[in-house]
Amino acid sequence: MISNLLSRRDLLANSSYGFGAMALSQMLARDGIAGEPQPHFAPRAKNVIFLFMMGGPSHLDLFDPKPKMTPLHGQPMPASLVQAKKSATGGVLETVMASPRKFQRYGKSGIEFSELLPHTAAVADDLCVIRSMHCEQSNHDPAQLLMHCGTPLFGNPSMGSWVNYGLGSADQNMPGYMVLISDDGHGLEGAGSSLWGSGFMPSTYRGVSFRNAGDPILHLNRPLGISAATQRARLDALRDLNQIRQQVTGDPEIASRIASYEMAFRMQSAAPEMLDFGKETAETRAMYGLDADKTRAFGTNCLLARRMVERGVRFVHLLHSTWDHHSDLNGRIENNCAMTDQGAGALIKDLKQRGLLDDTLVIWAGEFGRTPMGEVRRGSTAGKEGRDHHPTAFTIWMAGGGIKAGHIHGATDDFGYNCVEAPVHVHDFQATILHLLGIDHERLTYRHSGRDYRLTDVAGKVVKEILA
């Protein structure tokens, strides 16, 4: 018989790798003894909704019109700009491929959008469109990892994990970081769960993913015949056993396991109400496209994201795959826009009319853009051409949470090939997000393997020109 068991508070206070102190801090905060993790300065945003378009959407067909390409369609790319080259992914890139899309100006700001994005265009005056994004990674996994984790290598914490670590959850009954997934029928591609993983941080900081089919959360309801009191007693017994094991091994993941069990128990009360759309009006459901097959999956995730930030979830991560259009660009980009545009536009409108947009930073981005040259793959037919990966220039948009509205930042050349005005690196983008949340990106660090890591690695500067 063990007679010298640590109390839960003593155990957490003395756990290795600093996680015990963090967990103790959260427990004390719930007891009213100590505060939650604090920002470095007054934040402009309290929450983030990150709409990530996996695969690299074509900026040339959506956000960055290039009319001078039209008379050059089918001709060789100017030698002064780029030499014709073989695609790293197997296609031949030689000639200009002008976009067939019609662009027009929207709102008082006059920002131009493609005909494929009517719902996004309708909220043009709420958006900041950054046309000068760039990075060094031209393949999906490293580029997605760079965008999310600040490095092209696997095994590092994601942006949502960094925010969760730095600020904690605003609601003790819900995780601080949640993940929602949809796709175009081809399944999830790229770096997968590493994009919402906690890397070398304790797993309590990783994103909690919802299923995109069937029950969003498995086993949310208690089994028949199990009362709350019985379940609580079982969890207490598991906690005591885990604490004994923690005392023996010093493994910080055991403390994470304790925390996850406790969170799951609290979610059994909080999550069903959050997932219940019964009180949403018919107008709201229609606005998000919940009543149509094409728009239902992504629209549901957008509405759920709004409900999550209403309930204090700090970072909501929506992923839609795949925008990797090496062939049949016209057909596949139309399909993806038809699936996602309505939900994205509705999210901005809904947040704004509920007074939530000022405190919520909404981001729409992919990992890179697409080439101005057409890509012809073996076996492809006329009219089925695509575009290859293009990291040296692409477009994203941001809204709310302290971002300048109705604004275009940066520019590319006449072919959308290189940034020629106000370039924004991915690390600058990440530094700006943290700044809006009240975090100095150079001060948010985590000690691992003998060095201090940060989301922006050893680079990054806040893009002050896009701040309201």
* CATH number of the domain to which 157 belongs: 3.40.720
Residues 379/418, Cβ–Cβ less than 8 Å = no
Question: Of 121, 116, 151, whose CA–CA distance to 136 is shortest?
Answer: 151
Tell me what pLDDT residue 414 has.
96
Angstrom distance (rounded) from CA 373 to CA 249: 57
Single pTM value for the model: 0.84
Residues 413/436, Cβ–Cβ less than 8 Å = no
Q: In which residue ranges of the chain is pLDDT below 50? A: 1-35
pLDDT tens for each residue of 248-287: 777 777 766 666 655 555 556 656 778 889 999 999 999 9
What is the rounded average pLDDT for all residues in the chain? 86
Amino acid identity of residue 342, one-letter, is Q
Tell me what pLDDT residue 11 has.
41
> Is residue 63 included in any domain, yes or no?
yes
The parent domain of residue 298 ranges over 37-466
> Is residue 9 included in any domain, yes or no?
no
Q: How many domains does the chain have?
A: 1
> Is residue 14 included in any domain, yes or no?
no
From residue 234, give the alpha-carbon distance in Å to each of 185, 227, 256, 264, 468.
Answer: 41, 11, 18, 13, 51
Tell me what pLDDT residue 20 has.
40
> Is residue 325 included in any domain, yes or no?
yes
> Is residue 17 included in any domain, yes or no?
no
> Is residue 12 included in any domain, yes or no?
no
> Is residue 5 included in any domain, yes or no?
no
Angstrom distance (rounded) from CA 429 to CA 235: 42
Amino acid identity of residue 291, one-letter, is D
> Is residue 24 included in any domain, yes or no?
no
C-alpha torsion angle, residues 358, 173, 215, 211 (rounded to 10): 60
228-249 and 252-275 are packed helices; what angle lies between their axes, rounded to 10 degrees?
A: 160
Tell me what pLDDT residue 83 has.
56
